[in-house]
Amino acid sequence: MILRIENIKKTFTANGKAVKALDGVTLNVSEEELVTVNGPSGCGKTTLLLAAGGLLYPDEGNISLNGLDLYSIPPEERAKERADNIGFVFQQFYLVPYLNVLENVMVPSIARIPDKKRAEELIERFHLTGRIHHKPSELSTGERQRVGLARALINNPKFLFADEPTGNLDDSNAGEVMKALADFASEGGGVLLVSHDQRTTIHSDRKYTMEAGKLI
């Protein structure tokens, strides 16, 4: 088992009212699995992803990755665990605007010995060699998401968290992104993907729907 989520709850306050973003969610993701959670905006799926990825404390429940309880360790150790074993793919890409493709892909490896060779291999894998010195503003939406994928993989993570990775993409680019995520899982990794886009379920091993903070 790679990821184990046990009865996590998270409540936010909006306009003076308590909103249950997560209401007792339990979910496991094993090696070689791509698990999708689909649902509309506001159902709690991004909150689930952030909590599972060690970025947002749940109010209750436990989350462990590779047997390590993410919220029982100090923040600096949790940050190291993310750097060493987790990759994130986001709908908004979050590329550094003044860095080129190669530099953006290498950003997560800056804290260790930067691996230029691996970055170049990933750039070639995602058909970006001709864009290697381009800035994000010079790339198409699909190209920017492929840069985001390469960046997520640079440190050889064991697990990927993907938040709406196809939300801004046409069918061709969405298919390429989903194939890359499925390939990562088939090679021994685990993937938890949350989205409103039903195209993401085509490659998934298990599919869930989230409504009002609950998994169905």
**Structural domain count, the chain:** 1
Q: Is residue 41 part of a domain?
A: yes
What is the pLDDT at residue 111? 66
Q: Is residue 215 part of a domain?
A: no
- pLDDT average, residue stretch 35-53: 93
Q: Is residue 49 part of a domain?
A: yes
Q: What percent of the chain has pLDDT over 90?
A: 78
Q: Is residue 163 part of a domain?
A: yes
Residue-averaged pLDDT of the chain: 92
Residue range 145-168, pLDDT digits in tens: 999 999 999 999 999 999 999 988
Residue range 52-71, pLDDT digits in tens: 999 999 999 999 999 999 99
- pLDDT average, residue stretch 118-129: 94
Query: With contact defined as beta carbons under 8 Å apart, do 178 and 166 qualify?
Result: yes
What is the pLDDT at residue 132? 97
What is the pLDDT at residue 147? 96
Residue range 196-215, pLDDT digits in tens: 999 999 889 999 999 989 99
- pLDDT average, residue stretch 40-50: 92
Q: Is residue 80 part of a domain?
A: yes
Does 109 have pLDDT greater than 90?
no
Confidence of residue 17 (pLDDT cuts 50, 70, 90): confident
- pLDDT average, residue stretch 95-123: 89
Q: How far is CA 15 from CA 44, 63, 85, 109, 175, in A?
A: 17, 29, 37, 41, 39
Confidence of residue 19 (pLDDT cuts 50, 70, 90): confident
Confidence of residue 1 (pLDDT cuts 50, 70, 90): low
Does 41 have pLDDT greater than 90?
no
Distance CA(179)–CA(104), nearest Å, equals 22
Residue 31's CATH number:
3.40.50.300
On whether the pTM is more than 0.75, the answer is yes
Distance CA(203)–CA(189), nearest Å, equals 14
Torsion sign over Cα 53, 5, 37, 119: positive
Q: Is residue 216 part of a domain?
A: no
The 10 Å Cβ neighbour count of residue 161 is 27
What is the pLDDT at residue 101? 97
Q: Is residue 213 part of a domain?
A: no
State the residue range of the domain holding 179.
3-208
Q: Is residue 214 part of a domain?
A: no
Distance CA(126)–CA(215), nearest Å, equals 33
- pLDDT average, residue stretch 91-103: 93
